[in-house]
Amino acid sequence: MQQPDPVKRVEKYSISTRLRDYMLLVKFSLTILVVFSAVISYLLAPKVVEFDWSMIGILFLAGFFVTGSANTINQVVEKDTDALMKRTAKRPIASGRMSETEGWIFAVLSGVVGVGLLWYYFNGLSAGLAAFSLFLYAFIYTPLKKVNSISVLVGAFPGALPCLIGFAAGNDTLWIGEHGTRDLGGWAMFAIQFFWQFPHFWAIAWIAHRDYEAAGFKLLPSVEGPTKYSAIQSIIYSVLLIPVGLLPYFTGLTGWVSLLIVLIANLGMVYLSVRLYYDMEVKAARRVMFGSYFYLMVVFFALLADKIG
């Protein structure tokens, strides 16, 4: 029986390891979530009247490259900090498996390609927003994380901008035009994702508090860490999601069916945040985190299914 060539086996292992490192570099799961919000917002744009899978695919790739670029810069800048935390120590740059130079080259190339795709296939507005989002996340939010917890507020802007990018790509405008107030729908999507990030991210910061504290990150609203005050802030922003969730309906973007679904989902987020306040446990914070993922998917799919043509 012929034995496999050891050289080929090592080569195969190296390629698979390299690909896995690049998936870690771009934070694959997070990037997919970001691109998801951009694509849904694009499909909600009044000018988009049918599913053009080629354009959806291009938008997906553009969003993936831009977000991957931002996440790569984040890992290059925070390589020393990442090495201190258990959850990030195995990242390719922090662990030394990949050089900073390689990270920067990948970040620049992917950023240029992503913004270029948006400019060429869609419009300058979406490309400009993508470039601004990349800059804000990589060079303002990232270093601010060690200075003050206001970084979460700052980071919520590039975190929600994919909604505006996607909507602008499909609609060519973010202001009232030929479709009336429906042309403001991108801002409604932006607002939902903006306020959603606070309970979502604070739940993550609650769970990983020890790691973040050891690395010098200031991400929870209370300087004492996971406290009642931090839980109250999650409740406040979950409550704010209720009126914000009405915006797609009142701009005329979607109908009353999604309005009811969004309202129920918003009440669910409030409930989970209140449970966090009373339980004050990592288990409760984990429920908020996973519940927020579920919330975003349910809300965005409901809005898309109920889009007014």
Helix (H, G, I), strand (E, B) or coil at 174: coil
Per residue in 147-205, pLDDT (tens digit) is: 877 889 999 999 999 999 999 999 999 999 999 999 999 999 999 999 999 999 999 99
Helix (H, G, I), strand (E, B) or coil at 149: coil
192 or 7: which leads in pLDDT = 192
126: pLDDT strictly greater than 60: yes
Confidence at residue 210, expressed as pLDDT on a 0 to 100 scale: 82
122: pLDDT strictly greater than 50: yes
Q: Which of 43-52, 79-88, 119-128, 241-250 has the lowest mean pLDDT?
A: 79-88
| Band (7; pLDDT cuts 50, 70, 90) | very low
Kindly state the tokens that stand for 230: 């931090």
Per residue in 95-114, pLDDT (tens digit) is: 888 999 999 999 999 999 99
* Axis-axis angle for helices 282-305, 28-44 (nearest 10): 30
Confidence at residue 1, expressed as pLDDT on a 0 to 100 scale: 45
Per this entry, what is the length of the chain?
309
Mean pLDDT of the chain: 92
Please state the rounded mean pLDDT for residues 246-271.
Answer: 97
- Residue 74 CA to residue 57 CA, distance in Å, equals 25
Please state the rounded mean pLDDT for residues 232-250.
Answer: 97
Helix (H, G, I), strand (E, B) or coil at 268: helix
Q: Please, are residues 85 and 212 in contact by the beta-carbon 8 Å criterion?
A: yes
The closest alpha carbon to 130, from 76, 169, 74, 104, belongs to 169
246: pLDDT strictly greater than 90: yes
- Residue 158 CA to residue 155 CA, distance in Å, equals 6
Q: How far is CA 53 from CA 106, 165, 279, 286, 287, in A?
A: 27, 18, 45, 35, 35
Confidence at residue 64, expressed as pLDDT on a 0 to 100 scale: 97
Confidence at residue 215, expressed as pLDDT on a 0 to 100 scale: 78
Confidence at residue 8, expressed as pLDDT on a 0 to 100 scale: 45
Confidence at residue 83, expressed as pLDDT on a 0 to 100 scale: 86
Nearest-10 Cα torsion for 20, 22, 26, 32: -50
Confidence at residue 150, expressed as pLDDT on a 0 to 100 scale: 84
